[in-house]
Amino acid sequence: MNDAVNRELAPDLHPDTLAVRQSVPRSQYGEHSEALYLTSSFVQPDAATAARRFAGEEDGYTYSRTANPTVTAFEQRLAALEGTEAAIATSSGMSAILLLCLGLLKAGDHVVCSQSMFGSTMNLIGKEFARFGVQSTFVPQTDASAWQAAMRPETRLLFAETPTNPLTDLCDIQALADIAHAAGVLLAVDNCFASPALQRPAAFGADLVIHSGTKFLYGQGRVMAGAVCGPRALVDGVLASLIRSAGMNLAPFNAWVVLKGLETLSIRMKAQSAAALTLAQWLESHPSVARVYYPGLPSHPQHALAMRQQSGLGGAVLAFDVRAADAVDARSRSFHVIDSTRVCSITANLGDTKTTITHPASTSHGRLSEAQRQAAGIGQGLIRVAVGLEHIDDLKADLARGLDTVT
């Protein structure tokens, strides 16, 4: 390592600076942009060193399933942005949640979750882990007293997603942290929608922070990635040893792509949040729209909490109900609005610079039962829009094409 090109960063840097500068040391070549170490294994100087590194007695890279410098750079940068001691990267956001649950839960344990979170998360915890004896209770996202009432002696984890997908319900992170810690329980928060550019859950008491790097962290929809951020004792002491065996690791190329995306995260989130607010205000006044779900609107029941918890911004995702007579009519009308778009991409992904539009009841929450969807507030007339960087007038016109012609 060339010390002349690896000067130590100054202390107490702003997160916007860390998003650009935090990384592993440069190689002997002194590259300015972070290097991509596209290799499956690493050559050892001798057999004794290899033995020590494989035994965990000495730092050093051995095999990319266990660690890779490019992946380490992404982990360090994300941890710096979230304000946590460490982070561990995974192949997707769902694999991050899987890693968390496998590392922390066992048969007989109990988890309290929001009933309005992402459908795949509800299926994983409520259905798949139930096969292995893990119990779960799903409660209203916004009611801290319901979380408290659901606590049991065997509760080991509170899992929240804020804002939720797609209704943008918030939870009071500090209130849930107080409930969890009073019982000696961990609080995990999925920060996918807000990202550390708007919200840092650890600052409000969350023990672990979950990410889908597929979404806003990268921002251009090319690769999949995930991560768990938290204290070193949990991340390195519990989750890292598990991922060495389970193989849910992030590929170096994907890590490098998301690492570079983090450099523009703050400016993207601010621009997309501003556009989302303008679009939400326009939708709220449209006669074909029954209701708009967006934390940046004063009409949102948790607007004040959003402003306090999300750096004064509502985020880049909104949802709205198309006005309709019944469920059948609502589905038909929402499909008409979606199919009438010519700018928005009809896809269930979000966090892209390209605006996406989807029908949650038949896509992201399609595998849930009707009872689960109703409990989560996911109706047939609901449309979710993840606002990108297109001109706002074009987005309004794109949605107006369908909203103005619903019959």
pLDDT beyond 90 at 117: no
What is the reported pLDDT for 147? 98
Q: Which domain holds residue 392?
A: 266-403
Provide the domain count of the chain.
Answer: 2
User: What average pLDDT does the segment 301-329 reach?
Assistant: 97
Give the C-alpha separation, 47 to 82, whole Å. Answer: 38
With 60 as the cut, is the pLDDT of residue 1 above it?
A: no
pLDDT tens sequence across 132-185:
999 999 999 999 999 999 999 999 999 999 999 999 999 999 999 999 999 999
- Of 220, 245, 262, the position where a domain reaches its end is 262
**Is residue 277 domain-shared with residue 322, that is, in the same domain?**
yes
pLDDT of residue 236: 94
C-alpha to C-alpha distance for 310 and 294, rounded to whole angstroms: 13
Instruction: Encode 159-171: b = buried (16+ Cβ within 10 Å), e = exposed.
Output: bbbbbbbbbbbbb
CA distance 331 to 288: 14
Amino acid at 313: L
Q: CA–CA separation, 194 vs 229, rounded Å?
A: 15
Q: For residue 20, name the pLDDT band (cuts at 50, 70, 90).
A: very high
Strands (E), 258-401: 289-293, 317-322, 345-346, 356-358, 382-386
Among 216-225, 317-326, 366-375, 377-386, whose mean pLDDT is lowest? 366-375
Looking at residues 61-75, what average pLDDT do you find? 96
- Rounding to the nearest 10 degrees, give the CA dihedral for residues 130, 134, 140, 146: 140
Average of pLDDT values for 191-216?
98
Say how far apart CA 151 and CA 181 lie, in whole Å.
12
Burial class (CB in 10 A: 0-12, 13-18, 19+), 181: middle
pLDDT given at position 58: 95
DSSP secondary-structure letter at 41? B
| pLDDT 10s digits, 86-115 | 999 999 999 999 999 999 999 999 999 999
**Statement to judge: residues 246 and 303 lie in one domain:** no
Q: Are 210 and 243 in a shared domain?
A: yes
Q: Are residues 82 and 186 in the same domain?
A: yes
Give CA angle at 292 (318, 316), nearest 5°: 15
**The residue to which tokens 């607007």 are assigned:** 303
Tokens of 132: 């292995």
Report pLDDT for 61.
97
27, with CB counted inside 10 A (0-12, 13-18, 19+), is middle
* Predicted local distance difference test score (pLDDT) of residue 307: 98
Predicted TM-score (pTM) of this structure: 0.95
The residue from 236, 262, 288 where one domain ends is 262
At residue 3, the pLDDT reads 73
Given a cut of 90, is residue 118 above it in pLDDT? no
Q: Which residues partner with 86 through β-bridges?
A: 230
Residue 2 has pLDDT above 70, yes or no: no
Same domain, 250 and 280: no
pLDDT at position 374, please? Answer: 77
pLDDT at 10 over 80: yes
pLDDT above 90 as % of the chain: 92
Same domain, 164 and 241: yes
86 and 230 Cβ atoms separated by less than 8 Å = yes
Same domain, 229 and 158: yes
